[in-house]
Amino acid sequence: MNATRRAGGSSSWPCLRAQGEGCVLDVSVSPNAKRTAADGLHDGALRVRLAAPPVDGKANQCLIDWLADELGCPKRAVTLLRGQTSRRKQLLLALPPAQLAAWLARCCPDTAA
């Protein structure tokens, strides 16, 4: 069974999987970009360009703030599970997996399977 079917979506998103009441999102970040934006999929993760330096947790906070704003949820609904100092991160989102799959389809239409 693919990750998105487990997550309640209808298309394949290798970066998304259900966990408890929420879901886990795998993200590959590129700090120091001109603006923060999703940039498709990369190696099974959502690639996000961050307009923040990878210093003192600024890139991590930028990612959490951006995701919360994009998803229309409070920042407390987005938790960094793994990757404090890495480009590859895992985030726990206290949102229905179907909502995340729909958002992924909107922000990455060229990569939808």
113 falls within a domain? no
Total domains in the chain come to 1
DSSP state of 110: G
Give the model confidence (pLDDT) of 51-69 as tens digits. Answer: 999 999 999 999 999 999 9
Kindly give the pairing relationship between strand 37-42 and strand 88-93.
unpaired
Tell me, what CATH number does 92's domain have? 3.30.1200.10
Domain holding 77, by residue range, is: 15-105
6, pLDDT greater than 90: no
78 falls within a domain? yes
- Mapped onto helix, strand or coil, the DSSP state of residue 55 is coil
31 falls within a domain? yes
112 falls within a domain? no
111 falls within a domain? no
- Mapped onto helix, strand or coil, the DSSP state of residue 26 is strand
Give the model confidence (pLDDT) of 70-99 as tens digits. Answer: 999 999 999 999 999 999 999 999 999 999
1 falls within a domain? no
24 falls within a domain? yes
